[in-house]
Amino acid sequence: MNEFSIIDKYFNWDNDSTVSVGVGDDCAVINLNSDYQIVTSVDTLIQGVHFSSSTRASDVAYKALAVNLSDLAAMGAIPRFFTLSLSFPELDEVWLSEFSNSLKDLSEKYSINLVGGDTTRGPLSITINVTGEIERGCSIMRSGAKVGDLVYISNTVGDAAYAWKQIQGNGSVSSSAISRLNRPTPRIELGRSLVGIARSCIDISDGLEQDLCHILDSSSVGATIDIDRLPLSDEVRSYIKDSGDWCIALSGGDDYELCFSVDKKHIHKIKDIEERAQIKLTEVGIITASRGLIVNGFNAECQSYQHF
């Protein structure tokens, strides 16, 4: 099986009518809506860095697309299409078929078209470039937070890092925590609901502290959050109770929940969104004028993940 039959068999799917030319030509050609802007982002997952050799192909595919969709969610964008650059060391059709099926399932769930890519031999790595669209001028940026805004987090934090820690230490961990690590939920619907309401937003990929600080730096503000108010699953709460390891929630990455700031006058709208999107939104603190992040009730330092 050569490169072109691999592409044809595993990555040439039917697309919707927004794709004028998809997989198979030198470039893809996409129809655009007028009065919308393109929103685009790229993320790479590398074996040994982002996932281990025992991670299933279906989970690798899921996560590679989900983390990219999460970036679109954080901007409030609608997913439209993606490209896939795939490197693998040797042809393994069982792996490819599991990877391709999982990727296709998730792409259908979020109505995003695979329109092209690249296939090469090399260490296992997956790069996905997603593109979405948003009504002109409506994207939710990191730079929009204002003093007095309330800071919210979706769902719970710390679960993915907790699952990773338990797996590394051969400890016991629930399947729901493992799926938070392997199959993060891109908060597309929530992101769309926050357009016109949230003044700033980021997806929590590297840990709450570090990611919230990106909002603070971009917006030239500070924030105070309360450790007691962090939304935690029962499993993570009891782990922290026993270990005192608050850093799992403050700096553990990979949750892909949204952290956003909202003008106080919109509190009632947040309640509506919570009901409509069926997701817990927790107010954890407030944007302040004095720069930096203060975590009430926590005096230690956590180490955030950095590649270099």
Residues contributing to the site for ligand ADP (CB under 6 A): 7, 11, 23-26, 84, 86, 114, 116-119
Q: What is each CA distance from 282 to 153, 234, 259, 273, in whole angstroms?
A: 5, 15, 10, 12
Q: How far is the CB of 39 from ligand ADP (least distance, A)?
A: 21
Within 8 A by CB and 6+ apart from 137, the residues are: 37
In whole angstroms, what is the distance from residue 144 CA to residue 84 CA? 31
| Least spacing, CB of residue 68 vs ligand ADP, in Å | 14
- Quick one: tokens of 215? 């909002």
Residue 125 Cβ, how far from ligand ADP at the closest point, in Å?
A: 12
Give the closest residue to 300 by CA, choosing from 247, 253, 252.
247
What distance in Å separates the CA atoms of residue 306 and residue 157, rounded to the nearest whole number?
18
Work out how close the CB of 81 gets to Mg ion at its nearest, in angstroms, rounded to a whole number: 17
Nearest to 216 by CA among 295, 143, 150: 143
Backbone angles phi, psi at 55, to 5 degrees: -70, 135
CB 117 within 8 A of CB 85: yes
Find, among 103, 117, 112, the residue nearest to 28 by Cα. Answer: 117
For position 25 contacting Mg ion by CB under 5 A, the verdict is no
The option from Mg ion, ligand ADP, none interacting with 25 (CB < 5 to 8 A, set by class) reads ligand ADP
Using an 8 Å Cβ cutoff, are 233 and 301 in contact?
Answer: no
23 binds, among Mg ion, ligand ADP, none (CB under 5 to 8 A by kind): ligand ADP
Name the minimum Å distance from CB 183 to ligand ADP: 21
Query: Measured from the CB of residue 38, what is the shortest distance to Mg ion in angstroms?
Result: 22
Instruction: Give the nearer residue to ligand ADP in terms of CB position, either 119 or 174.
Output: 119
CB of 84 to ligand ADP, least distance (A): 4
Question: What residue 298 binds from Mg ion, ligand ADP, none (CB within 5 to 8 A, per partner kind)?
Answer: none
Residue 37 binds which entry of ligand ADP, Mg ion, none, with Cβ cut-offs from 5 to 8 Å by kind?
Answer: none
Binding partner at 119 among ligand ADP, Mg ion, none, C-beta below 5 to 8 Å by kind? ligand ADP
Question: Residue count at the site for Mg ion (CB under 5 A)?
Answer: 1
> Toward ligand ADP, which CB reaches closer, 3 or 272?
3
Instruction: Tell me which H or E stretch contains 288.
Output: strand 281-288
Angstrom distance (rounded) from CA 148 to CA 283: 13
Residues in region 82-141 near Mg ion by CB under 5 A: 118
Report DSSP state, residue 290. Answer: S
Binding residues for Mg ion, rule: CB under 5 A, are 118
